[in-house]
Amino acid sequence: MPLSRRNVLGAALLAGTATLLPARAHAASDRVEALIARMTLAEKAGQLSCFNDEVRPVGAVFNPVVDPRGGEAMLADIRAGRIGMLFNGYGVAGARRAQEAALAGRLRIPLVFAADVLHGCRTIFPIPLAEAAAFDADLSERAARAVACETAAGGLHWTFAPMVDVARDQRWGRVAEGAGEDVLLNRLLAAARVRGFQGSDLRRADALLATPKHFVGYGAVRGGMEYAAVDMSAAELRETFLPPFLDAFAAGAGATMASFTDFGGVPVSANRPLLTDLLRGELGFQGVCVSDYDADRELIAHGIAADEADAARLAILAGIDMSMQSGLFVRHLPALVESGRVPVAAVDQAVRRVLTLKERLGLFNDPFRSIDARAERRETGSVAIKRMARKVATRSIVLLRNDGDLLPLPRAGKRIALIGPFGADKANLNGPWSFAGDAKDGIDVASGLRGVMADPALLTVEAGSGVTEPLPGGTARAVAAAQAADVVLLAIGEGGDMSGEGNSRTEIVVPAAQQALAEAMAATGKPVVVLLRHGRALALSGAVRDAPALLATWFLGEQTGPAVADILFGRVEPTGRLPVSFPLTSGQQPWSYDRRSTGRPPPDDQPMAPGRSHWRDAPDRALYPFGSGMGYTRFALSDLSVPAVVATGADVPVSVMVRNVGKRAGTTLVRIDLHDRVASRTRPVRQMKAFVRVTLAAGETRRIDLRIAARELALVASDGRWRVEPGAFDLWVVAGDGVEMQGAFEVR
């Protein structure tokens, strides 16, 4: 696929001259063309329609069910050629019934089965935001591969993942589903997850077609409010929101999903400049663009379409290939074509893409691929996938504070009070979109600790509080337990339903009842380790912020307990880093570490200097910025070497000595941030451009060589082109909180 950053340079959107370019047509196979030639308009509309699977329902998924019809009616519609894809069903037996119905249809076109598998199918992994904290594309790829094997074995071909929306507003609930606030991390993990889901050959029974979503800009919803409008400059779109899609497409993603949201006054589902001129014309994407759930019908509520037929017309003409759940294409496309309001070529083009997707998945040759009861038994909840889920969970945890080396705890000899609503709780382990996961399979924190403690009898567990409401007598019982212990572990934070889709918050704080519990724990004078549970960055305060030890533990999924125990007792070194900045207060949102320079930056040592950029009651800083996190050992940097002058278009080699100055082996993340000092547009105050994980034995020193790729120096210039502008760049090498060296180079 001819994708490079250069072909997203096009100035059409920037110059406001977006034209209605025809979508780039691509040749399909003879089989697909022959089928299209035989299809009626109704059959074409059927192939372009997908519905929530009622043949094999999976239980609670997020979408409010609109227009349910029941399993038998659905099978009849499949036989009649009115459905091209089913989503969010699960299990081989049901898949077989549905596929047999499709093959009993006039044209014998197989169904394709999709689902929202974002962080595990049956075995639930950490939420994607947590996994991003591992800063490890290879791990993300392997995790996605493991998830794909289990998912495909349950009769699925296609996942609506990864979500690659850059998320800089922690009020937005869907932060949980992506890789956080940084562009480079989003890009690398987008590509890695696509490679992992899809595997080496899409025709294999264990391949899962990937859907980088939501195209495009959803993360910038106004005020962080779910489903709100988006408005941004073309340069922001190209520098921040598009790059992860580019990398995901370049990795071969077979589909994308249009965002629900209004983009600059035109909802994406009706936005031809985005879905056709940009996605097809400029980016050259040839896969399927599926609408979001009922999103074409929502064009009526947006006030863009007069009625359902109008909504269907706008969506197909904008570039939506497949309509999700509304049924609008089935009901209206044939008449729209017959009346000349939609050219048949537009419908054929979409059908071509959908049938090509089915062909790429090998479904015409083997409609029963991934429908194998033996594989389902073998792969579901296998030892291998559980091991992988635990590894990822352990790698996702971020140690943010550890005063006086309170952690790791000894496995023996300490009386531990585990306090908080998430200590012995299974209901809140998985977090949002835990597709076919069963909360009962999860291992809670208490069980995880008991599995490692030399004497589990030294553990007492008290909830102390509910998630949002106090428990009668809860605080008193928790205080008594704390007083009888040597150390308090405080498992508090957000409930599983407080982040994810539809769960934006105005105050991103620990709920008041739990905050009160934390204050009561601090008042006991016992050392407190906060085990924070969350689907976003939180604004911490009081006893939670000031606790001597703090671990960000997100929603870690099924293996929560063992992973937390691995870290707490030092069986595994904490190596996670924050993929989102923890602010000082909710009102700072949106905020990211790579915000652009202001004309009145405060001096570093005087963040509240009068007349300089800050809020009246908060500096322009985070409590824990992007990348924060430490281990149980310390690292030091020395001997930074950066060339003084770099030729335009050349990579920048950077070399530095990293030393483990602590008493334990450990791993640190060495990263490089850049700032372009003078450019034609204001630049981020600093932005990550490269990183590598380095593992060193106690006392070991190693020279680390990193290259900053030339393209990482580029910006979208005032004329809309990606360009490296000559001049000076500041550079920072960071190897942990406060461990940093600064350099500079000049591009000529």
Q: Which residues are catalytic?
A: 292
**Residue 293 binds to ligand NOJ (criterion: CB under 6 A):** yes
Helices (H) and strands (E) in the chain, counts: 21, 28
Least distance from ligand NOJ to the Cβ atom of residue 87, Å: 6
Strand partners, 419: 462, 490
**Residue 348 binds to ligand NOJ (criterion: CB under 6 A):** no
Nearer of residues 61 and 246 to ligand NOJ, judged by Cβ: 61
Least distance from ligand NOJ to the Cβ atom of residue 63, Å: 5
Nearer of residues 222 and 663 to ligand NOJ, judged by Cβ: 222
Residue whose structure tokens are 């405060």: 602
User: Among candidates 149, 154, 177, 148, which has minimal Cα distance to 164?
Assistant: 177
Least distance from ligand NOJ to the Cβ atom of residue 325, Å: 8
Strand partners, 705: 655
- The footprint of ligand NOJ on residues 677-716 (CB under 6 A) is none
For residue 562, cis peptide bond before it (omega within 30 degrees of 0):
no
Residue whose structure tokens are 């016992």: 526
Q: Would you give the distance in Å from CA 263 to the centre of its chain?
A: 21
In a 10 Å sphere around its CB, with 0-12 CB exposed, 13-18 middle and 19+ buried, how is residue 610 labelled?
exposed
Nearer of residues 257 and 479 to ligand NOJ, judged by Cβ: 257
Q: Would you give the distance in Å from CA 163 to the centre of its chain?
A: 5
**Residue 227 binds to ligand NOJ (criterion: CB under 6 A):** no
- The footprint of ligand NOJ on residues 70-99 (CB under 6 A) is 88
- The footprint of ligand NOJ on residues 250-279 (CB under 6 A) is 260
Nearer of residues 433 and 555 to ligand NOJ, judged by Cβ: 433
Nearer of residues 88 and 475 to ligand NOJ, judged by Cβ: 88
Angle at 463 between CA 461 and CA 467, to 5 degrees: 150
Which three-class secondary structure state does DSSP give residue 740?
strand
Nearer of residues 301 and 647 to ligand NOJ, judged by Cβ: 301
Whether residue 61 contacts residue 38, with contact meaning beta carbons closer than 8 Å, is answered with: no
Whether residue 554 contacts residue 396, with contact meaning beta carbons closer than 8 Å, is answered with: yes
Whether residue 682 contacts residue 596, with contact meaning beta carbons closer than 8 Å, is answered with: yes
Binding test (CB under 6 A) with ligand NOJ, winner from 125, 160, 249, 591: 160
Strand partners, 627: none
Least distance from ligand NOJ to the Cβ atom of residue 292, Å: 5
**If residue 658 lies in a helix (H) or strand (E), which one and from where to where?**
strand 652-660
Nearer of residues 285 and 433 to ligand NOJ, judged by Cβ: 433
For residue 590, cis peptide bond before it (omega within 30 degrees of 0):
yes
**Count, residues near ligand NOJ per rule CB under 6 A:** 9
**DSSP 3-state percent helix, strand, coil across the chain (nearest 5):** 35, 20, 50
Nearer of residues 165 and 282 to ligand NOJ, judged by Cβ: 165
**Residue 613 binds to ligand NOJ (criterion: CB under 6 A):** no
**Residue 63 binds to ligand NOJ (criterion: CB under 6 A):** yes
Which three-class secondary structure state does DSSP give residue 592?
coil
**Residue 292 binds to ligand NOJ (criterion: CB under 6 A):** yes
Least distance from ligand NOJ to the Cβ atom of residue 218, Å: 8
Least distance from ligand NOJ to the Cβ atom of residue 321, Å: 15
**If residue 567 lies in a helix (H) or strand (E), which one and from where to where?**
helix 560-568
Angle at 590 between CA 589 and CA 595, to 5 degrees: 125
Site string for ligand NOJ, 356-385 (x = CB under 6 A): ------------------------------
User: Among candidates 572, 488, 562, which has minimal Cα distance to 531?
Assistant: 488
Task: Name the residue type at position 112.
Answer: V
- The footprint of ligand NOJ on residues 180-219 (CB under 6 A) is 213
Whether residue 516 contacts residue 541, with contact meaning beta carbons closer than 8 Å, is answered with: no
Whether residue 526 contacts residue 483, with contact meaning beta carbons closer than 8 Å, is answered with: yes
E strands in 165-261: 213-215, 255-258
**Residue 501 binds to ligand NOJ (criterion: CB under 6 A):** yes
Least distance from ligand NOJ to the Cβ atom of residue 148, Å: 17
Cα–Cα distance, 51 to 328 (Å, whole number): 11
Least distance from ligand NOJ to the Cβ atom of residue 119, Å: 13
**Residue 233 binds to ligand NOJ (criterion: CB under 6 A):** no
Binding test (CB under 6 A) with ligand NOJ, winner from 116, 376, 425, 444: 116
Nearer of residues 115 and 418 to ligand NOJ, judged by Cβ: 115
Least distance from ligand NOJ to the Cβ atom of residue 197, Å: 14
Q: By CB under 6 A, name the binding residues for ligand NOJ.
A: 63, 88, 116, 160, 213, 260, 292-293, 501
